[in-house]
Amino acid sequence: MTGRYPGVHDWYFTFGQSQIHSCKGVTLDRDSVVKITGTNEQARNKMFELFGPKWGMQYHADEFNAQCFPRGVVLEFDVTEARHEQDA
Range 77-83 contact pairs with CB under 8 angstroms and sequence separation of 24 or more: 77/34, 77/35, 77/36, 77/37, 77/38, 77/46, 78/36, 78/37, 78/38, 79/36, 79/37, 79/38, 79/42, 79/43, 79/45, 79/46, 80/8, 80/37, 80/38, 80/42, 83/38, 83/42
Question: Which pTM does this prediction carry?
Answer: 0.84
Arithmetic mean of pLDDT, 21-34: 91
- Residue 65 forms part of a structural domain: yes
- Give the per-residue pLDDT at 81: 66
- Residue 3 forms part of a structural domain: no
- Residue 37 forms part of a structural domain: yes
CA gap 28, 7 in Å, rounded? 27
- Residue 74 forms part of a structural domain: yes
Q: How many domains does the chain have?
A: 1
The residue range of the domain holding 41 is 9-87
- Residue 1 forms part of a structural domain: no
- Residue 28 forms part of a structural domain: yes
- Give the per-residue pLDDT at 33: 96
